[in-house]
Amino acid sequence: RKEVEQDPGPFNVPEGATVAFNCTYSNSASQSFFWYRQDCRKEPKLLMSVYSSGNEDGRFTAQLNRASQYISLLIRDSKLSDSATYLCVVNNVDSSYKLIFGSGTRLLVRP
Amino acid sequence: NAGVTQTPKFRVLKTGQSMTLLCAQDMNHEYMYWYRQDPGMGLRLIHYSVGEGTTAKGEVPDGYNVSRLKKQNFLLGLESAAPSQTSVYFCASRKRQGHKDEQFFGPGTRLTVL
């Protein structure tokens, strides 16, 4: 079983739609959580960190559920430019030097 | 700031050839990483370094060696390339400061081994 699991998608949504991605992690010692975005044939870039109380950055909202060990990312009012792969990333307290990356969820926003 | 740079951007090797991938960062970060990314597999950690002169094995270290002689550079070597090493290779450096924690990636090196 992978340590960080994501639905690979693709999620195909129209512009303006709201879309949500979930990610589950298996290590209860996980302490830090992030969403990275990767455009086609480009490097990953940090989208947002995920805080215990949940956090919002414009149209993006991240939530953490420690009891169920999952993280979510909600994108409201989708734009064409949101089309990308979204990577769920976890840092464990017992191996804090390394970040564990999920395989990513692909999002396609159509006109 | 150039951030994280990688050299070369593309390379084609024949089986058995050797090469070195160079990663450089100008942000004075202690931590540096080498990943490979294959379709459907996500990013897999090859080797990493927590400071100048130190390296450690990641998830998939076999067939690769690394060196971190200077803080700003992290080199990845393939001594005898195999077709299974065809992949996109990303280098990253990491900033950890208080609650902030972010990895900065280079643009990648696309390697094909024939």
A97 vs B contacts (CB less than 8 Å): 31, 48, 50, 56
Instruction: Quote the minimal CA–CA distance from A98 to chain B in Å.
Output: 8
| Chain B contact set for A43 (CB, 8 A) | 90, 105-108
Does residue B40 carry a pLDDT above 90? Answer: no
- Mark yes or no for CB contact B45/A45 under 8 Å: no
Nearest residue, CB atoms, B42 vs list A34, A49, A104: A104
Question: Quick check: B95 contacting A, CB < 8 Å?
Answer: no
Q: How confident is the model at residue A98 (pLDDT cuts 50, 70, 90)?
A: confident
The mean per-residue pLDDT over the stretch B88-110 comes to 92
pLDDT in tens, A7-55: 888 999 999 999 999 999 998 888 899 999 999 999 999 999 998 888 9
pLDDT over 90 percentage in chain A? 78
What gap in Å lies between CA B89 and CA A52, rounded to an integer?
32
SS3 A81: helix
pLDDT at B51: 94
More confident residue, B99 or B89: B89
Find the mean pLDDT for residues B52-75.
96
Q: Which of B111, B105, B89 is nearest to B25 (CA)?
A: B105
Tokens found for residue A94: 């017992």
Residues of A in contact with B99 (CB under 8 A): 49
Tokens of B101: 């924690």
**Interior/surface letters B29-49, b for 16+ CB within 10 angstroms, e for the rest:** bebbbbbbbeeeebbbbbbbb
- Give yes or no for a contact between A64 and A71, defined as CB atoms under 8 angstroms apart: yes
Q: What is the DSSP letter of B8?
A: -
User: What gap in Å lies between CA B23 and CA A29, rounded to an integer?
Assistant: 31
Distance from the Cα of B107 to chain A's closest Cα (Å) equals 5
C-alpha distances (whole Å) from A23 to each of A2, A16, B109 are 11, 23, 28
Indicate if the pLDDT at residue B99 is higher than 80.
Answer: no
What whole-number distance in Å separates Cα of residue B59 and Cα of residue B46?
Answer: 6
Flag whether pLDDT at B69 surpasses 90: yes
A42 close contact with B: CB closer than 8 A: yes
